[in-house]
Amino acid sequence: MAGIVEAKDGKLYRYFEGQTTCIEPWGKNALRVRSVMMGYDMNDADYALSEEVPAQYCAAGAEAAGNCTIKTWLEEQSVVSNFPGARTIQVACGSITNGKIRAEITAGGKVVFYENATGKVLLEEFARNRLDGHSKDLSALEIVGREFMPHRGGDYQLTARFEPNANERIYGMGQYQQPYLNLKGCTLELAQRNSQASVPFMISTQGYGFLWNNPAVGKVTFAKNLTEWVAYSTKKLDYWICAGDTPAEIEEQYADVAGKVPMMPDYAMGFWQCKLRYATQEQLLEVAREYKRRGLPLDVIVVDFFHWEHQGDWDFDPTYWPDPEGMIAELKSMGVELMVSIWPTVETASVNFKELNERGYLIRTERGVQYGMDFMAPTIHFDATNPGARKFVWNVAKKNYFDRGVKLFWLDEAEPEYKIYDFDHFRYYAGSNMQIGNMFPVMYAKTFFDGLREQGIEKTISLLRCAWAGSQKYGALVWSGDIGTTFESMRNQIAAGLNMGLAGITWWTTDIGGFHGGDANDEAYREVFARWFEWGTFCPVMRVHGDREPRQEPVGTTGGAMCCSGGPNEVYSYGERVYEICKKYMNYRVQLKPYITQIMEEAHTKGTPVIRPMFYDFPQDQATYDYEDQHMFGPSLLVAPVYTAGQSERSVYLPSGAKWRDIHTGTVYEGGQVVTVATPLEVTPVFARDGFDLI
């Protein structure tokens, strides 16, 4: 169990029984850890760690810059055996330091991370064996911190184990449909599904950030007695860890190595109108005209799915959308941008199916029929991990959409969604779904990001239903998927949005009002819609969408027109009282435009989440960690959503170190206290910090 430890090329290596482990500087106050078996090339892919690291913070130059030190040494170690007596051997150990973080390889081969200045343990591998420098690990259990369990004739199931920190709170990890902001005690599937986005970067109150840089399907458990990461099919352990004094410092260091969003275009900061679905060109135009007749601020309107003849055509159906150029010109004359839905699914009747299939640009199935989903027709998805497929799809979309004036795309079905989530059944250009499937939404976003950049669009934004680590750098605006239309569902989205932001996905939104159902004539649902709309005003993007009841009959018998549409979903569809509420909050959004521009610049330059828990801005106020259902919208607005039916008042914690003005009443409060405010249907509590006066 001794192993060999050596320093080489600015990195620390350990070799033991076919396993090679490498620890190296990778960004400010950060280290990257990789481990492989049997000579596999650990440099095969960087995945989320794609940003160029300045020389003073990477292996090539960190030592020369004085940021990194590497040491190796031998320790005398007693070996416990089943035979009488004990023997002493020399065991190789090593350490590597990069700014605020230090890693040590102990006598037993496990890795421990320390805060360099204080020596506080940040994170340590979980190991139980007969030889280690930590007395608590002397054990006959023989459990290792890094375990590669081979599949016969193929990859490994990888398990990485870490000691729990008793008082640690964990945030980030993406979007899961649950109300928990603090993820300590949770088990999370590392897999993509409709309304679930696995983005495996976390921030710990212990003072570190951790990226599981492996796109394999798996799971993570943040248990009381153990933290355990599992990849079901992989060849490499790969993670990144950084130390920081505040959540903001950790977040910004992560953004430096994984990427930041582009600058959001002006039109995207306003109000977006959408429903399932405007079935014809005239329906959509009439809605835009009505918004303008009423003097409502409309910035984006959406052509949703099945505006095509066949999935995979990526084109307007000329029967129901006869003049796209004229439609777009009229919308632009009203100051409205058009967003067009794209699905990655391709049916055999598509004009593009034959060439896509013959070129190998479609996802393959391991057995049976080449089939992944069957909404309106049996389909298979284009393979976004294939560079040729990405280029092909963009060229079709450019000809049929971009060249007609569309520059805003809704990349739906981005997980991708399957009829049955048998992850071991699908194979991509980059590997099996089990190995690399979680990166599909990143490559889907890259398809249109690269195409738009080639056409000179610098402020690139695409709406997607899923993400993985690094999606942000390709202009991904992620929404929370096909969720319910209840207050319980709304509550889940608060946790989802805040954890997505801390996972690095700074652009995030929901379907205001939820997706599945909701009748605009139902008073109970009108309350849900109004509360959700008020909260949505203070989210990164303000967008209504949903499949409302009663559903409308199909408008035709050919092409996409055979797909039915949901009921009315415009702000004037919900009765006069809700309409007045919507107008009030839409005007708030207009007033906030200079402020929203400011916080979008921070997201672009620093990776700052647009919405974030209060502790992000007030890390010294420990009470902020206890209030998980209110949040900051940028640094100057505190929002406390109302997500319970009939709620007439709400308690709000105001962080210490600031004064807070209730935007509805003008009352000013000192921070560091809980206040109770009235919440009639027209009021969601919002407090402005230290004289902020845009609203």
Residues annotated as catalytic are: 412, 415, 482
Of 258, 295, 267, the closest CA to residue 468 belongs to: 258
Of 653, 686, 688, the closest CA to residue 671 belongs to: 653
Distances (CA, A) of 451 to 383, 396, 446, 568: 16, 11, 8, 34
Task: Decide if 571 contacts 579 (C-beta within 8 A).
Answer: yes
How far apart are alpha carbons 639 and 630 in whole angstroms? Answer: 6
Task: Decide if 169 contacts 131 (C-beta within 8 A).
Answer: no
Question: First vs last Cα of the chain: how many Å apart?
Answer: 65
Looking from the CA of 612 toward its CB, the CA atoms found within 13 Å total: 27
Order of strands, sheet of 218-222, starting from the edge strand that comes earlier in the sequence: 146-150, 156-162, 227-234, 218-222, 187-190
Alpha helix stretches (DSSP H) within 425-478: 433-436, 440-454
How far apart are alpha carbons 282 and 105 in whole angstroms? Answer: 67
Query: Tokens 């009470």, residue?
Result: 623
Distances (CA, A) of 272 to 100, 245, 337, 512, 542: 43, 38, 9, 10, 6
How far apart are alpha carbons 531 and 32 in whole angstroms? Answer: 44
* Amino acid at site 638: L
Dihedral angle over CA of 588, 593, 594, 597, nearest 10: 130
How far apart are alpha carbons 261 and 277 in whole angstroms? Answer: 29
How far apart are alpha carbons 129 and 141 in whole angstroms? Answer: 6
Pairing label, strands 111-115, 121-124: antiparallel
Prior bond of 179 cis (ω within 30°): no
Of 184, 190, 160, the closest CA to residue 170 belongs to: 184
Q: How far is CA 249 from the centre of its chain?
A: 19
How far apart are alpha carbons 236 and 21 in whole angstroms? Answer: 10
Of 671, 686, 581, the closest CA to residue 630 belongs to: 686
Task: Show the 3-state SS of 343-387.
Answer: CCEEECCCCCHHHHHHCCCECEECCCCCCCECCCCCEEEECCCCH
Task: Decide if 12 contacts 95 (C-beta within 8 A).
Answer: yes
Distances (CA, A) of 350 to 309, 353, 394: 8, 5, 16
Task: Decide if 345 contacts 370 (C-beta within 8 A).
Answer: no
Burial (CB < 10 A; 0-12, 13-18, 19+), residue 575, is: middle
The radius of gyration of the chain from alpha carbons, rounded to an integer in Å, stands at: 26
Q: Is the Cα torsion angle 588, 594, 595, 599 positive or negative in sign?
A: positive
How far apart are alpha carbons 531 and 683 in whole angstroms? Answer: 8
Residue 34 φ/ψ, nearest 5 degrees: -130, 145
Of 193, 166, 162, 158, the closest CA to residue 177 belongs to: 193
